[in-house]
Structure 1
C-alpha cells in the first residue's frame, strides 16, 4: 500500500485543523503509519508460515490458523487506518466546494467582491462538517478496537493454542511465532489508537466550547449595540 499518497492527501487537512487536529495527524503518521510500515508488517510477515502444530494431518495447520486468526492484525490495522483517515477528506472537499463558489462569485461580481472572508475558516456548514468528521473518526476507532478484542478475545497473543477443528484427527497443540513481540506491537498500536480517540474527544469539546463562547460574545455585542441605539434615540429631542 502506498502510504505516501495518503500522507499527501492528509497534508491538506493539516492547515484547516485545530491544534488537537495537528497533534492527531502527527500521532497517526509517526506512531501508527510509520510503525506499521517499518516494523509491524515485518513482524507478521511470516505469521502463517511459522504457525506450527504437532500434527502432520494435511490441512489441519491451515484450518487451525484460520480458526484462530480469521482476520490478520496487519489487514485489520490497515483497514482501521484507512477508515479513520477518510473522514478528514470531508473537510478538504467542503473547503474545495467553498473555493469553487468563491471563484464563481468573483467571476460574476468582480474581483473586489468576496463571498467568504476565508473559505477554510470553520464557520457555518464547514464547522458542522469538521465536527461530524471527528465523530465519525472516533466511532471508527472504537469500533475497530472492539472488533480486535472480540475476534481475539484479548489484546495479548498466547504462546500456545489448542485446536480440534476438522480435519484435525484430535485435539492438537499449535504454537504462534514470536508471541511476545507481537503482543508488544499489538499493545502499542492499541495505545496509539486510544490516544487518537482521546485527541478526537478533546477536539470535539474544544470546537463546541469555542462555538459557545463565540455565540455568547456575538450575543453580548449585539445586545450592547441595541442598547446604545436605544439610548441614542431616547436622548434625541422631539421635532418642533
Structure 2
C-alpha cells in the first residue's frame, strides 16, 4: 500500500495547524505511520499461515482463526490511520476553495490566509471533532473485537467443524502484544492532543470574542459620553450669543 498521499496530506495540513496540531501530525507520521510500515506490518504478515490448531480437521483452523480475528489487526490499523487523517481534508479543501475564490475575483479577500479564524476556524473545529470521535470509535472497536488489548499465547476453539474443543496457538504473541500496546498508546495520545487542541481553540477564540465585545462596548460608551458633552455645551453657548446680539442692538 502506498502512503504517499497521506504523507502529502499531513504535510499540507501542517501549514495551517496550531502548535498542538503540529505535535499531533508528528506523532501520526513518525510513531504511527512509520512504525506501522516499517515494523508492525511485517509482524502480522503471515498471521494466518502461522496460526496452528492441534487438529487436522479440514476447515477447523480457518473457522477458529476467523472467530478470534474477524478483522485483520493490521488492516484495521491501516483503516484507522486513513479515517482519522481524512477530516484534515476538510481544511485542505476549504483553503483550496479560498485560493480559487481569490483568483476568480483577482484580489486578496483574506488578510492572513494561514490564520485560523472565521470560516477556517469552523472548518478546523469540525475536523478536530471528527478526529477525536474516530479515535474513540476505533479504540472501542479494537477492544470489542479482540476482547481487550491482549494477544494470548493459546486460545480454545469449539466451533464447527472442529470435532471438539481444540487448542490453537498464535505466532509471536509477545511481539504482537508489544506493538499492540504501543499503537493503542499512540492512538490514546493523539486523542488527548486532538481534545486539547479543540479545547484550546474554543477557549482562545471565546476570550478573543469577549475582549472584542468589551472594547466595542467601551468605545460605544465613550462615543455616547462625547455626544452628551457636545449637546450640553451647545445650549450653554446659545444664550451667550443671544445676549451679545441683544446688547449690540
The bucket for the TM-score relative to the shorter chain is: over 0.9
- Counting only pairs closer than 5 Å after superposition, residues 5-20 of structure 1 correspond to structure 2 as 5-20=5-20
Question: Is 1:85 aligned to residue 79 of structure 2?
Answer: no
Q: Any gaps of 5 or more consecutive residues in structure 1?
A: none
Summarize deviations over 1:68-98 as a string: whole Å, max 9, x none.
1110110000000000000011011111111
Deviations 1:139-170 (A, max 9, x none): 11110111110011111111000111111111
Q: TM-score, normalising length from structure 1?
A: 0.94
- Aligned to 1:55, the other structure's residue is in SS state coil
Cross-structure match for 2:111: 117
For residue 238 of structure 1, the aligned residue among 230, 234, 240 is: 234
The runs of 4+ residues in structure 1 deviating greater than 6 Å are none
Q: Which residue of 2 aligns with 1:25?
A: 25
Secondary structure of 1:238's counterpart equals helix
Whole-angstrom distance in 2 between the partners of 1:119 and 1:98:
8
Structure 1 or 2, whichever has the larger Rg, is 2
3-state secondary structure, aligned to 1:161: strand
Task: Determine the structure 2 residue equivalent to 1:200.
Answer: 194
Output the CA distance in 2 between the equivalents of 1:51 and 1:35. 23
Distance (whole Å) between structure 1 residues aligned to residue 125 and residue 40 of structure 2: 31
Aligned to 2:53: 53
What is the aligned partner in structure 2 of residue 70 from structure 1?
70
> 5 Å matches for 1:152-163?
152-163=146-157
Cα RMSD (Å): 1.2
Q: How many residues align?
A: 234
Measured in 1, the distance between the counterparts of 2:99 and 2:204 equals: 24
The reply to whether residue 141 of structure 1 matches residue 135 of structure 2 is yes
Q: Does 1:226 align with 2:217?
A: no
Shift of 1:118: 2.1
Q: Which residue of the other structure, out of 183, 186, 199, is the alignment partner of 2:180?
A: 186
Q: Any gaps of 5 or more consecutive residues in structure 2?
A: 239-249
Q: Offset at 1:63?
A: 1.2
